[in-house]
Each structure stands twice: as C-alpha cells, then as structure tokens.
Amino acid sequence: MSRKQLARSGGDLSQLSGDDTGCTILHLDMDSFFVSAELLSRPELRGRPVIVGGRAGRGVVVSASYEAREFGVHAAMPMSVAVRNCPQAVIIPPSRGLYGEISRRVFELVGAVTDEYAQVSVDEGYIDVASAQRRLGRPAQIAQRLRAQIEAETGLTASVGVAATMVVAKMASARAKPDGMLVVPTAQVSEFLGPMSVEALPGVGARTQEVLASYGIRRIGQLAQADPAWLGRVLGAHGAVLGGYARGRDRRTVHERARDHTISAEHTFGADVYRLADLELELLRLADTVAYRLRAEGQAAGGVGLKYRTGEFATSSRSVTLPAPTDVAAELHAALLPALRTLHENNRKGVRLLGLRAADLVRIEDAGRQETLDAAEHTPREAELALDAVRAKFGRTAISQASLLRRGERGEGTAR
C-alpha cells in the first residue's frame, strides 16, 4: 500500500449512512492491477507475495500484491529494496500488451454505462453517472453492477468510491480496497475526511505537509477550518484548492478529463549519467515515445513537464506551458531542453532517472494548430505521422528517428 493510501486511514466508516443521494461521481480503481493481471495465468501464486517489475540492474516495482505490501513493498520502490524487505516474494517481469488489453475491456464496460468518464491511467478512472440514473438506477447500484461486470468479464476485481465530487470519490475508493465499494454521503463528507492526515489529500507532498505541520495542521479536519485567505498567503494559489478539497469541494468535473489526463514516460539508467549530450538524447527518446502515444489517442499537449532524479534520489521537476498544443516530439523536446540544461548546470551529480510528461491535453482537432507563411513544405508532424504508419505495419521498433540511432539500445547508461 502506498504512503498516500496509508494516510487515507482514520475514522469509523461504519458510521457512514450509505445514502447515495447526489453522489453521482464514481472513482474506479482496479485492485493491484498489474499483479492481478499476471495471476490470471498463474493462479497457483494467489495468496503469496508477488511483485511485478524489473529485476535486473536498477529495476523498480511496478505493482505488488497485498501480501507483499504487508512487508512494506510498494510501487516505484527500487527492486533491491523490495527484495530486501520481502525476500520470499515471487518476481514477475511486466508482460507486454497484457495490461492495455485488459484495460480496454474494462473501459468498454464503463462506456456501456455512460460516455461521461475520464480514464486517467490504465487501471483508474472517474465516471459521472448523473445521466445514467434513470436508465440504470441509483449511483451505488450502478457501481455494484459495474464491479460485478468487470470481474465476470476480466476475472479481476475493482474498488469504487461513490461521492458528490472527484476528490472525495478518489479517497473513498482507496478506503474501499481491496474489492469493495464505499459511499460517502454528502452530509457526512466532513465526518469522512476529518480524521485523515492532510497527506491523504491529492496535491499534498512532503513540503506542503511540513509547512502545514509547522502551524499545527496535521489532520484534514484542521485544514478545513483554516481561513482561506490565510491558506492563500501560506501556500499560494494552491492553498485555496487544498482548502476546498479538505471541505470536500472540488471544481473539477469529469467533462474536463482531457485537461486532467496526462501521458508520460520515464527511464531509469543502468548507471548514473553525467554527460549532457546523453541526457538530451534520452529526452528526445522520451519525447518520441510520448508524442507517439499522444497521436495514438488523438490528443495534443498544452504543457510538458520534466522529471530529473539524481543517483542520490534527489528529484527536481520543471513544467513548461507550450505556445500551442502539440503532438510533435521535436516540439516537446525543444520546450524542455532549457530546463534540462539548467538542471544539469546547477547539479553536477549523475542522473539516475529522466522523465517527460505531457499535460493539459486537448483533442487534436481542437488544438487550433496553424502553419506559418514561412513553414516548410513538409512539417516535422508529417514526418512523425509517416513514422507512425510504418510502426503500425511493422511494429514499434521497426523505425526510429535518425538522431536516436547514435546510441546503443535503450537502457544503456553512461557513467563518468
């Protein structure tokens, strides 16, 4: 169980009435998705600690069974630490294609309920069932029926939170795990949220938690009582959002799924990388991967983010708003190059991990891309679409950008 999930404990859930009036937002979260998917073909491993992830070199945990989580194993943990914590665990390398196929089947079932849903990852999504109630019944009934259909169709279980807002629904699904459903009545939101650590709220990281603790605010109930103007002074613009979350208020809607959804890729090097040229090349490789996924989904990114982690696990993040939404690798790469170069200049330690995230997504037809008068006859986007066509016919590795061929196979690190 992740640190966030642990923080979402607290309070007596038996006191919740179960009244789902007005609770039209569902948060669907598949239970231990990657492990559960692997166990479909390995039923003999059920009940044992199982970890999905890479074992060689600097492999990390992708997912852990609940039995492994009891030993402190969680996603994104270095595999070396996970094995030390749980040496009896069975380690399974990730299977290509399996998770995407199961995810597609799950969200086909969701789509049969309503088209008002936002898939935010391969195993997680928000569903607005307001328009489906007349046809399918009350929100809790819809949630239970959907959970049963998913298990019958895929053999996997899902937990669902039912609430009036996205933030409360997400926190409810975490409390419902595994294989459960939790309704948070609108009249009991404060009762549900109040006892939890502020760390449980989305957007509260270690630094924000530290700042709030310095003022004696450790529980969500305490945060909910804080003056909004004071929160703004202490935490900036984000303070108002967190204050709203603490009171169960969330202005986001499922209709905004394109903006909330992100597409990302990251790479952990086999050895710390020191040369800027190697980092720039890896950034281009990540941009190529993310742009390919954007085009596959018919999306364009309005913003892009960089994740930069040194060998000492110090992580820096940088975000850039793009001049216009794009699905072109060259433009994603160019936007983050200044940030990458600045981080490298200010921190000469070797780099362990590099990541790229595309955010603020819009449908490509709504992106409003316009060519300039001096644009070349054939644009970089046309070239990348041509690459897509070849890859669709011969496979993802059949062709690549020429600049990416300067280095050996992916995963090779360059140490000083």
Which residue ranges make up the annotated binding site for Mg(2+)? 29, 123
**Strands, E, within 215-350: which ranges?**
263-273, 299-310, 315-326
DSSP SS3 for 52: strand
d(CA 223, CA 7): 15
Under 8 Å between Cβ of 194 and 221 = yes
Q: At what angle are helices 276-297 and 329-346 packed, to 10 degrees?
A: 150
Of 310, 383, 399, 326, give the one whose Cα is nearest residue 359: 326
SS3 50: strand
SS (H, E, C) 174-224: HHHCCCCEEECCHHHHHHHHCCCEHHHCCCCCHHHHHHHHHCCCCEHHHHH
Q: Are 48 and 67 in contact (CB under 8 A)?
A: yes
Residue 315, beta-bridge partner list: 309
Phi, psi of 316 (to 5 degrees): -120, 145
283, HSE (Cβ side, Cα atoms, 13 Å): 26
Give me the catalytic one of 124, 191, 266, 297.
Answer: 124
Whole-Å CA distances, 143 to 147, 345, 411? 6, 51, 42
> Between vectors from CA 145 to CA 143 and to CA 146, what angle results, nearest 5°?
65
**Residues forming the annotated binding site?**
29, 123
Contact (Cβ atoms closer than 8 angstroms) between residue 166 and residue 126: yes
- Using left for φ > 0, alpha for ψ between -120 and 50, and beta otherwise, residue 313 falls in left
Active site includes 124?
Answer: yes
> Are the C-beta atoms of 207 and 198 separated by less than 8 Å?
no
Query: Which residues have a catalytic role annotated?
Result: 124
